[in-house]
Structure 1
């Protein structure tokens, strides 16, 4: 019985670690007052609009961990794609991206 416990305990730890969710996953209030969801997807993490005129539309994807990510986001109204960084600090997500390395934008979202 003790031997079985020693074998399964490390497996349980691995399973728990694999299930730990990146803190960036969740619902976020955008600067314009709409809601977006960040969730795991095949590309790493994806941003999907939950409310507003673009509800249900995926507007971004990024990769990374520990609060530092890189990827792209599409501004839903202009349809411009911005490539850049996303950082998480507490209940705030900050995104900074550029299109054609000329036009850059910054966004700040708060956790709901």
Structure 2
């Protein structure tokens, strides 16, 4: 019994380490949208990746948006090859879209799509941390 508990604890530890090594985890700078951009913190959420707005900026510099703390990237599930599928929230129109994401090094490509993925709006993000 004791060995089973220890094995379970070790297994959970390795699963957490594997998810922490996900290439999407970190802080990313968005492209400007309606004159503003954000730093989004991507973290594990269950078996997926979620991104929360940490800081916001406009032409005047950093400002305190009402969107700080809100989730922008929602349940992006990895396929193991640097591609993800989930949902994306666009603050400028308060709509949630079918989301696709690709990570390669310090570059992240994010798209929000409608019509079953036929029409997409895309952004290129850069890693901050």
TM class, shorter-length: 0.7 to 0.9
**Structure 1: gaps spanning 5 or more residues:** 1-11
Pick the structure with greater CA Rg.
1
**Structure 2: gaps spanning 5 or more residues:** 1-9, 57-64
Give the aligned partner of residue 104 of structure 1.
120
Number of equivalenced pairs: 102
Q: TM-score, normalised by structure 2?
A: 0.68
Deviation (angstroms), 1:57: 0.3
Work out whether 1:40 is the aligned partner of 2:48. Answer: no
Classify 1:35/1:108 alpha carbon distance in 2 versus 1 (closer, same or farther; 3 Å): same
Kindly indicate whether the alpha-carbon contact (under 8 Å) linking 1:27 and 1:35 is maintained by their aligned counterparts in 2: yes
Aligned-pair Cα RMSD in Å: 2.3
Alignment counterpart, residue 68 of structure 2, candidates 28, 43, 55: 55
**Stretch of structure 1 that moved more, 94-103 or 64-73:** 94-103
- Mapped partners of 1:103, 1:47: distance in 2: 22
